[in-house]
Structure 1
Amino acid sequence: MEQYSLIDNIGILHTFDKVPQRIISLVPSQTELLVDLGLESKIVGITKFCIHPEKLITKKAIVGGTKKVDYNKIKALTPDIVICNKEENTLEIVENLRLICSVWVTDIVTIEDNLKMISDFGHLFDCTREAQQWNASLVFALSDFKQFIDRKPIRKVAYFIWKNPYMVAGSNNFINELLQLNRFENVFANLSRYPVIDLQEINTVDDLDLVLLSSEPYPFKEKEALEMTHFCSLSNIILVDGEMFSWHGSRLLKALDYFKKLHQNL
């Protein structure tokens, strides 16, 4: 294959003399995508949070988490490329890894960003047919879901991701994009990213329909749901699968089925 160049989501130009054969992924959702694109044999390193597909974590070298990695272990794996994400990984990690090999950084805020990432991976790893098939499946499923959701009422929601301090999803992130897809009006969309809030603020929201407590990164359980009733007794408090609302990549296909079931139970 001739030399080729591609630009990642943060505007960095990458030039390759050959298709990268040894991949390290520091993003759990993108690890799952790489496998779904047929690239499992090329993955040499992952994080301890790369739990999908099941048992992958027993087959690949664990190089750390998403915020802290073992640079010596990564270097010893002689990667051709490391896959990172602007939100998941730190700038320090990205800059240090660039001393070892190419570092491809994604930045996924919208569904269009997600489709482009899959297409980019197709070109990056010479699996364009697989990438096109995944995007075609996603576009079809999105069209189907939009028809399903079209007549559903708009509901005001608060989506919690953390406790002590309490943090919610604001705007400018993939969670907010998927909330909008579900006709959920994010009451904290006026705040950026993942703001810390006082639970008393919930009491000031008029007609709050739903409080969604995510399973990740903080694993909200029934205990927290019960505690939340003291602050929003008139709202429906629901424990939700955080992977379905925050993981991008191929996971979106499963998420759309999950969302249908969620609405059917509201």
Structure 2
Amino acid sequence: MFIFERVFFIMRVISLVPSITESLFDLDLSTDEIVGRTKFCIHPKDCVDKVEVIGGTKNLNIDKIKSLKPDLIIANKEENVKEQVEELMKDFNILVTNVETLEDNYYLIKQLGHIFGKEEKAQFYNLKTYEVFDIPESEKRLKAAYLIWKNPYMTVGGDTFISRIMEELGFENLFKNEKRYPEIQLEDLKESDLILLSSEPFPFKEKHIVEIQEVCLNQKIKIVDGEAFSWYGTHLAKCGAYYRELLDEIKFHF
């Protein structure tokens, strides 16, 4: 990992991570500075549409990246392919991020603020994020399962960022003792109070609720905004209203 000092000139940056691309724009970097992004970098739309696409998070176009001559490339340990990042390290400065907790998220935003001379803006988003998660503890801690994929069904283990967000919102992850993203059977979900179906990476729809409810007769099933659970960086600071509405709706059913 390359530790970049604060800069005082326009830097050419490529982001290989959707949530980091959004964070860079939130920190007021311009399209003159952010010169490359993945096809999954969709926020903010009016800005990202003006930035060159350099492939997907898992299949980077190395030649395209080289042609853009970046001063800094920002990657993520989980979202990008190690071999591709190592290939880029031969020619470019790389910042490899790894966000597993809210504390990690705080330091990521703080570090980005320091690198680009946007400390005040970074502090704003960090304080806002802590306000978002200042949630009164509920009387009943619901046991929840969070599904990210179908065919096979996959959930999240206790060592994932999604699981940490679930805990911050007052849920107990049914699969907290599992690692990363285990495959499961629908029968495994019967011990949960609540089943959360993520809108991404698999786009769960209402028809999937019907399918799962045929096996999980006694569980409340809810489709949730995957970005609100898995996108780190500044995105979390903008999820306060969504979290409140979600928790109020779930509380109504329990």
| TM score, norm. by length of structure 1 | 0.89
Check whether the contact 2:77–2:96 (CA below 8 A) recurs between aligned residues.
yes
**Which amino acid letter does the alignment assign opposite residue 50 of structure 2?**
K
Give percent identity, aligned residues only.
Answer: 44
Secondary structure of the 1:93 match is helix
**Which amino acid letter does the alignment assign opposite residue 165 of structure 1?**
P
**Which amino acid letter does the alignment assign opposite residue 153 of structure 2?**
Y
Change in Cα spacing, 1:40 to 1:15, as seen in structure 2 (3 Å) is: closer
* 1:216 lines up with 2:200 in the alignment: yes
The residue number in structure 2 matching 1:166 is 153
**Which amino acid letter does the alignment assign opposite residue 209 of structure 2?**
A
Change in Cα spacing, 1:259 to 1:71, as seen in structure 2 (3 Å) is: same
Check whether the contact 1:152–1:183 (CA below 8 A) recurs between aligned residues.
no
Check whether the contact 2:2–2:94 (CA below 8 A) recurs between aligned residues.
no
The residue number in structure 2 matching 1:40 is 30
Per the TM alignment, residue 178 of structure 1 is displaced from its structure 2 partner at its CA by 0.7
Change in Cα spacing, 1:265 to 1:48, as seen in structure 2 (3 Å) is: same
Higher relative contact order (CA 8 A, sep 6+): 2
Per the TM alignment, residue 254 of structure 1 is displaced from its structure 2 partner at its CA by 2.0
Secondary structure of the 2:195 match is strand
d(CA) in 1 for partners of 2:7, 2:28: 18
**Which amino acid letter does the alignment assign opposite residue 200 of structure 2?**
E
Per the TM alignment, residue 124 of structure 1 is displaced from its structure 2 partner at its CA by 1.4
Change in Cα spacing, 1:140 to 1:237, as seen in structure 2 (3 Å) is: closer
**Which amino acid letter does the alignment assign opposite residue 36 of structure 1?**
D
Secondary structure of the 2:208 match is helix
Check whether the contact 2:72–2:93 (CA below 8 A) recurs between aligned residues.
yes
**Which amino acid letter does the alignment assign opposite residue 18 of structure 2?**
P
CA displacement 1:3-37 (0-9 Å, x = unmatched): xxxxxxxxx34355955700000100110000000
d(CA) in 2 for partners of 1:51, 1:15: 26
* 1:186 lines up with 2:166 in the alignment: no
Check whether the contact 2:6–2:117 (CA below 8 A) recurs between aligned residues.
no
Check whether the contact 1:48–1:57 (CA below 8 A) recurs between aligned residues.
no
* 1:22 lines up with 2:12 in the alignment: yes
d(CA) in 2 for partners of 1:28, 1:66: 8
Check whether the contact 1:84–1:103 (CA below 8 A) recurs between aligned residues.
yes
CA displacement 1:112-148 (0-9 Å, x = unmatched): 00011000101112211211222122223333xx23x
Gaps of at least 5 residues in structure 2 are none
Per the TM alignment, residue 182 of structure 1 is displaced from its structure 2 partner at its CA by 1.3
Check whether the contact 1:26–1:46 (CA below 8 A) recurs between aligned residues.
yes
d(CA) in 2 for partners of 1:106, 1:151: 33
d(CA) in 1 for partners of 2:111, 2:62: 26
Check whether the contact 2:133–2:169 (CA below 8 A) recurs between aligned residues.
no
CA displacement 1:233-254 (0-9 Å, x = unmatched): 1000101000000000111112
| TM score, norm. by length of structure 2 | 0.93
Change in Cα spacing, 1:158 to 1:138, as seen in structure 2 (3 Å) is: same
Secondary structure of the 1:55 match is helix
d(CA) in 1 for partners of 2:47, 2:22: 9
